[in-house]
Chains A and B, each alone.
Chain A
Amino acid sequence: MTGDPLNPVRGRLNVGRDASAWATLVTIAHLGAYGLGVGSIVQLPLALLFYCTCPGSIILDWVDIDQPLARFSVVVALSLAANAVIVTFLLFAGWFSPLSGALAISFTTMLVALVRPSGELVEAPV
């Protein structure tokens, strides 16, 4: 174990923003596959990957969770939570469609990836 869960002070900080780059890649791949209509064999895995990990995976740029299974849970939960909120808003606003939903979640993902949190990240005293 490298440190306490959810505790970047004691743990190793991943300040390389790998997760943001990865989320961007998944977003572009998903939108591309959907836009081109390449078929469910490619589209479904990308759709599941996108909606289950974006935008939640970006949190890994700022928080070090020491165990892969725990990391998986937090990323999936946060992604599904954020996406459920967005989709509910679209449904009740009368703006829901597959395209509007995909674009709204992609936009949110890109926004979170671009915005850095306030304050300075501190390297872990490992």
Chain B
Amino acid sequence: MTPSQGATFGPALSDLERPPTRPAAFRPRGRGATADRFLGSAETHLFVVVVASLLVILSVPSVAPEDLGLAGLASALPLAVWVGFAALLAGFAAATRFRPTNAALGGYVVAVAALFHGLSLLAYELPRLPWAWKHVGIVDYIQRHNGVDPTIESMGIYHNWPGFFGLNALITETGGLDSPLSYVEWAPVLFNLAFGGALYLICRSFTADRRWIWTALMVASAGNWLGQDYFAPQALAFLLYLVTVAVVLNSFSTGPAGTTLEIPANRSLMTGVVVTCLLAIVLTHQLTPIVAILALGGLALTRSTRLRWPALLVGGSLVLWLALFARPFAADYLPKLLSDLTDVSTRLDDGLVDHGVVDQSQRLVSLASRTAAAAVLALAGLGLLRSFRNSIRWRPAMVLIAAPALLVGASSYGDEVLFRAFFFALPILAFLAAGVWFSRAAEPGRTFGPVVSLTLVLFALFGLSLVAKHGNDIRTSFTAQEVAAADHLYTIAPPGSLVIQLSTSSPLRFKNYENVTELAVEFFSNQAKERVVADAAGRFALWADDSPHHPVYVLLTRSQEAAITRLGRMPVGAYQDVQQSLDRSAEYSVVYENDDATLYQLDEHR
């Protein structure tokens, strides 16, 4: 960047392209000089990154569900883990002032991203999140059939957008594995690191100030509590979206010469990158193409890029995909999408947890997530105010925030769309938030005030995100016993089986999933749930009589009990009532049992 390129968010800090060298006359003397030398040395920061990272890695215990307290995983972590993260965040803040090099700042960001989003990898023996297990089930289906079935009823949406799953079937098979379960929990680490690199390029199109850029990455990583980075098509599609935006803003910028590709061969090459990523988005995920259309269309309309066609490409490809390949799903999807367009207020209400029905720990998780989101939004607003004075490239940033916000009014994701919208906007919000500290030129190494404030804000954000992301682990992480029970179910259940469970918070559908249809009591009316609690054996038998699916199983697990209790979906003690009812009934036999799960089978000849 040259100083003439003032077409950035902040001041042209081209001097920050190089390690800071200050005139001798301005260098502090005495104790200040010692501190300056110490905090400005590469060795100091390398030492902090290595030691703090090792402290976290070696201190994270193996966590069992009974160890999870009010705040989930955060309650189970020893002080050393908190100290390790505090050291990393404080070291990063100090580096922004005393050692603003890519190596130092990037080292901290990589360490925090990998460790924060790899915590569950260190703490739990098995992958968490029920949906990750279900996604493994789609991979398993492709492995067994070498294909997909777009007309299949159960989880048919994934068969219509199979790119992510097919790729993982390939990795699993050629990697010599039977199932992707052994690497599923690495996905958040890989994806968050990749998100960071893409965000670096996006931020680089706004400013040359590497302190601002890396702080944005740190805020985005420490503030990512949304859990959309797990083993799922959403995470892959989001990465492709970020990289597409990064290429569009950097290689096809409408900014001054020098920020664009000027070699035809390379322009073609970058066009190819954009086309490949956008096609993959259309073939991989249902929601991300909509965001891509809005964002890329917005960038074109605001003349933030010379590429005017990407939104049309995504729109056209999506229409073709829905019409030609995903027709079975589109027949259900499009009417729901249209009805959702008129139902925004309900969705806004449904998207937030009702504090009146959930338990204390769920309220804490909800409070943490809302506070973390509000903090990022507030910081972004403040950063925007500070950036506005010297900004002439605010339009792309506004477009990239507004596009996901429009999702709230145009998707069929129900209550989850609020989180998805925030997830898509988070990178740019993080960039604006970082502008609170760096939107104005400042001489590095002058004062400790910004270092302290940045440390405190980052640590608070990290703490809130940790509670928000891992506060529900008691119902979203699974023990080996629970998995063994589910594995037994899917091993013995013939095609056409039905399994009744109290909640979907179970490690289900990860193999032979198409053989078993699931029924979850938690989604039934209160009246139906009361009947189940009063006489589970009788009620389940009635459902079995009305169902075309046989044989009928009932699976009760520890995580289901935690889910219905914490979310207030069923009264306290309902799990035990159901279990006792089934144990007393002669119509049910226990086909598998251990400390954390019981699998019953209803007698077919009763």
**Chain A residues proximal to chain B, CB less than 8 Å:** 1, 4-10, 30, 34, 37-40, 42-44, 46-48, 50-52, 59, 62-63, 65, 67-74, 76-78, 80-85, 87-88, 90-92, 94, 96-98, 101-102, 105, 117-122
Contact = CB atoms under 8 A, between A and B. Distances in A.
B102 interface: yes
B167 to A, nearest CB: 5
B64 to A, nearest CB: 27
Contacts, number: 216
Contact of B198 (A4, A7, A73): A73
A77 B200 contact: no
Nearest to B198: A73
A122 B170 contact: no
B147 A96 contact: yes
A51 B194 contact: no
B175 A48 contact: yes
Given A7-B259, A7-B262, 8 more contacts: A7-B260, A38-B176, A43-B176, A51-B171, A62-B269, A67-B204, A85-B280, A105-B170
B199 to A, nearest CB: 8
B277 A87 contact: no
A28 B130 CA distance: 37
17 contacts: A5-B201, A6-B261, A9-B262, A40-B182, A43-B176, A47-B170, A47-B176, A65-B201, A69-B196, A71-B197, A78-B277, A81-B240, A84-B167, A84-B236, A85-B280, A88-B166, A119-B265
Interface stretch (B243-251, B367-375, B442-450, B587-595): B243-251
Given A70-B200, A84-B284, A117-B266, A78 B239 contact: no
A96 B142 contact: yes
Given A80-B239, A82-B280, A87 B163 contact: yes
Contact of A69 (B164, B176, B197): B197
B176 A37 contact: yes
B198 A70 contact: yes
A73 B200 CA distance: 10
Given A9-B262, A118-B268, A119-B264, A67 B175 contact: no
* Among B142, B167, B175, B269, residue most surrounded by chain A Cβ atoms (within 10 Å): B175
B175 A69 contact: no
A44 B1 CA distance: 41
B276 A74 contact: no
Interface string B563-585: 00000000000000000000000
A16 to B, nearest CB: 16
Interface string B156-199: 00000011101101110111110000110000001001111110
B280 A80 contact: yes
A93 to B, nearest CB: 9
Nearest to A96: B146
B283 A77 contact: no
Contacts of B17: 1
Main SS of chain A's interface residues? helix
B382 interface: no
B264 A118 contact: yes
Given A96-B147, A117-B268, A78 B273 contact: yes
A121 B102 CA distance: 28
Contacts of B210: 1
Contacts of B182: 40, 44
A110 B174 CA distance: 18
Given A9-B261, A30-B174, A1 B102 contact: yes
Nearest to A112: B272
B266 A62 contact: yes
B39 interface: no
Given A62-B269, A63-B266, A88 B163 contact: yes
Contacts of A90: 166
Q: What are the nearest 5 A-B pairs in CB distance?
A: A73-B197, A119-B265, A84-B163, A81-B280, A40-B176
Nearest to B148: A91
B339 to A, nearest CB: 29
A77 B240 contact: yes
Nearest to A39: B176
